[in-house]
Amino acid sequence: MKQYSIRFILLCILFFEVFLLIKNPVRAQVLCGNKDECQNKIKEYEEKLTATREQKGNLTSQIQLTNTRVELAQVRIQKTQHDMTATETEITQLTGKIEQLNTTLDHLSVVLLQKIVQGYKNKGATMLDVFLSEQATTLTNQLKYIQITQENDRLLALRTQQVKVNFSEQKSLRENKKVELEKLAKDLQAQKIDLNNQIAQKNSLLEQTKNDEKKYQQLLSQALSEFQAVNKAVETGQKIGPVKKGDPIALVGNTGYPHCSTGAHLHFEVRQNGTWTDPGAYLGKSWDWPLSQPIEVTQGYGVTPWSWRYSYSGGIHTGFDMVSRSSDVIRAVADGTLYSSSQNCSGATIKIKYIDHGSGLMSFYLHVQ
């Protein structure tokens, strides 16, 4: 059954790859011919990324950075594909070994069983029978024969046991390789998604900046201004008081428009000890969602088509942008102390609510009315 599940996963991946290629065509390019070449290429691109990040923050270097990220994502995909091919070959080879060992084990088991049966039959003859028999003069030879036979039986039993151990080890190794192949298949799927995101980010960069350095710097400045507004809100926010999970705390708005917001939505962010973290680790688990279902997340956490703007975070979007199709009421995701703040954001006023949940954990709600 597990073999069929692996085949199903691989077929799903193939379908997913075709879907991505249709949606975002990428030129076919072999960047590395084997696993070692791919690993060297990965190292090369990672070093190139580090060098590019250290360059002056201009549009040219940003385009170079996105190109390198796309190429790095492609190389990682190719390395995973090489790893999968090698693992599949190992599984096939192990299957052949297991079949050979199984045949050998069946044969040895039959021979050993025959030896055991013959041994029991021979136990019926006593030493007196041997002395009185016509072959008594060859007693010494018979004793030697018995000793040799016993030793051969012992060696046969030992070999059978060794084959059993080897058979078990090879089966265990094959199962481990199957698990490894399944993990590689999941890694490949995630890498394909990452490549799709990198391509979308590159296209978004070129579309939004129109290859204009001034426009690029303006967009970076606006994103940084929002980040600074959140930091200042933490320092100067007005304490409202304790809230419970589910309490209404604000309404979805568009404050910060036009420079720090482009439409009514909620930017929800989580920070642990001052460092942003993925809200997905909390929402729908220990925390409630801040909006009523159905909810549309318009921009997730991490690398997105717009996250190139957030140079201060290394190019990741630090929260969730979302809207609700049923209500504009924002509710507390968990118990804590509510604060409110209004800050300047590139000449516009952005309103921010945040909740201190204790132990350095805080949730932020931006662009509220």
| Same domain as 277, residue 161 | no
What pLDDT is attached to residue 141?
A: 55
| Same domain as 144, residue 47 | yes
| Same domain as 294, residue 203 | no
Residue type, 29: Q
Q: Are 265 and 322 in contact (CB under 8 A)?
A: yes
Residue type, 313: S
Q: Which of 155, 184, 208 is the last residue of a domain?
A: 208
| Same domain as 294, residue 187 | no
Domain that includes residue 93, residue range:
2-208
| Same domain as 96, residue 34 | yes
Give which of 246, 196, 213 is closest to 18, Cα–Cα. 196
State mean pLDDT over 112-141: 56
| Same domain as 99, residue 240 | no
Residue type, 209: T
The string of DSSP letters for 194-248 reads: HHHHHHHHHHHHHHHHTT-HHHHHHHHHHHHHHHHHHHHHHHHPEEEEEE-TT-E
| Same domain as 296, residue 151 | no
Give which of 325, 343, 197, 339 is closest to 265, Cα–Cα. 325
What pLDDT is attached to residue 2?
A: 44
What pLDDT is attached to residue 20?
A: 44
| Same domain as 230, residue 175 | no
| Same domain as 90, residue 19 | yes
Residue-averaged pLDDT of the chain: 84
Q: 321 or 314, which is more confident?
A: 321
Range in 76-85, 192-201, 325-334 with the lowest mean pLDDT: 192-201
State mean pLDDT over 344-366: 96
CA 255, CA 262: separation in Å to the nearest integer? 9
What pLDDT is attached to residue 13?
A: 47
Q: Which of 208, 243, 263 is the last residue of a domain?
A: 208
Percent above pLDDT 90 for the chain: 54
pLDDT of residue 23 exceeding 50: no
CA 288, CA 298: separation in Å to the nearest integer? 18
CA 39, CA 35: separation in Å to the nearest integer? 6
DSSP 314: T
pLDDT of residue 307 exceeding 50: yes
First to last CA, the chain: 56
CA 136, CA 143: separation in Å to the nearest integer? 11
Region class of 208: left (phi > 0), else alpha (psi between -120 and 50), else beta? alpha
Q: Which of 208, 232, 255 is the last residue of a domain?
A: 208
| Same domain as 184, residue 149 | yes
Number of structural domains found in the chain: 2
Burial class (CB in 10 A: 0-12, 13-18, 19+), 6: middle
Range in 14-28, 320-334, 340-354 with the lowest mean pLDDT: 14-28
pLDDT of residue 111 exceeding 80: no
Per DSSP, the three-state class of 32 is coil
pLDDT of residue 1 exceeding 90: no
| Same domain as 203, residue 83 | yes
pLDDT of residue 14 exceeding 80: no
| Same domain as 221, residue 195 | no
Burial class (CB in 10 A: 0-12, 13-18, 19+), 195: buried
Question: Which pTM value belongs to this model?
Answer: 0.66
